[in-house]
Chain A
Amino acid sequence: MVDFLQALVDGVMLGATYSLLGLGFTLIFGVLRRLNLAFGPTILVGIYAGSHVGLAWPGALWAVVAATVVAAILCGIYVERCSFRALARQAPVVSMISTFAVWMQLQELVSLFEASRTMPYPSPAWLPALTVGPILLRSDALLMWSGATAIMLALFVLLYRTRFGTAVRAVADSSEAAALMGVNVSIIGAAAFLLASTVGGLAGVLIAQSQQQVTPYFGLWATVKGLTAMLLGGAGSLPGAVAGGVILGVVETQTLWHFGGQWRDLASFALLFLVIALSPRARSEPTL
């Protein structure tokens, strides 16, 4: 029972970062109706930038965070220009293939500057671990959860309580109708992209400080986790992406705890496959 609770708590904390990745995916997919496969790799570049800053100025955590987020945003702008704006009049699948080309570029960019395959990432080591009854709350996991929750709250206030957020949700609902109501669809699309890159960069900081290292595989990993979180919650729904991320996190930690590490990925992909196989919505989706 304690094992189950411990795995549940760990899963919720891990899942909060998956929720952030899922929200980043949903912001782009919801507004532009296109998949950004390069979402993970943009975060990867951010984390590598942060890692290099952390090596150059040990102790300057704020600089690490700033470097991570700024690099992720710059890469996001690059992706938006090359794969979305330049291809706005083409079929959505063309954008997706183009983001894959950008992915190859970003991955190579990272390996150009790497000192070694695995880069260290600083974490605030002074935070204490908490114990609540028999449950242990690791400090990095706690930071991951509280940081992700704060970012999600800020994001939901922005999206549900401001004029800008209303415009974003209107475009996501129907870009034609939003355009007729005087919303500048193309600016909202770019803004959603910026917002998604910022959320992605912050998620990258939280994940990297917990893992304390990063490898070039992070790009693929983050894209798959974000895509899974978005689809588990029903593609395009913001609260759904949050729920999807938490479900994914809990399923992963529970299988890790009860069955062992090699089943962790199997369980998360089986979950995604089952949801798609059983979802009535998947059957009514138009082609990409």
Chain B
Amino acid sequence: MNDYLEVRNLSKSFEGFQLHDITFTLPKGYIMGLIGPNGSGKTTTIKLILNMLKRTSGEVKILGFDNIAKEQEAKRNLGVVFDSNYFSDEWKVSQVEKSVSAFYENWNTQKFSEILERFHIQPSKKVKELSKGMQMKLMLACAFSYDAKLLILDEPTSGLDPVSRDELLHILSEYIEDGEHSVLFSTHITGDLERAADYITYISYGELFFSGGKDEFIDSFRIVKGGREELSADLSKKMLGIRNFSTGFEALVKTEDLKQFAHLNVEPAAIDDIVVFTSKRGERYE
């Protein structure tokens, strides 16, 4: 099996929001960043993948298993980390292992102890006594202890300090090193993805904007800068988003349209630029 996660035409309707026709695949051995502004549908997509929400239509396969018909099989090798801890605050770290390990045949107690030691988590501490970063590491330690093949992280870096964020990205990079593990990583801190992700899936207001290689994504867009007098109506139409200043403007354009902007100052676009300029639902960012 080459694709660890297959999402096809996934849709979900809520009152006032619709996730529409989301399709992407995550191959074995890679990290995919799931990006989009707040409220764009990242968490909804993840909850649909985990069958925590009922989909309106579409199909999801986790490690080759349908996420509803073969839910147990699909979740057996799946690790999930949310933005906040999902263990009882009153549990000691050792109790977390006792409570969770029974559900996983592959659980390796020795490995769990080693990971705790590496993460500097004391088994005698209560979950509520751990910092947010430590709680996140505890969720990771559990997933690593049963050798979860696919790791899904929903906004794991929100609320973490830069050191903890850096550490998490390092852990994830190590995790996929053997080519047998994959990570789907939802975040709005796109700087994290510049470093760690191989693939990007960008959801904007419930619609799939892009899914593919990170380099291809970044390379598809450019930032053009110029003076106000250089901005014509024709050029403006080709811009995906524009920011005006008193002295000039900067805009996001498609690389394929770059010829028309050859007279302007062209710079590479960062993921953040692409998200900010394109997340205005077609409105100009002025």
Q: Do A and B come from one complex?
A: no
Residues of A whose CB lies within 8 Å of any CB of B are none
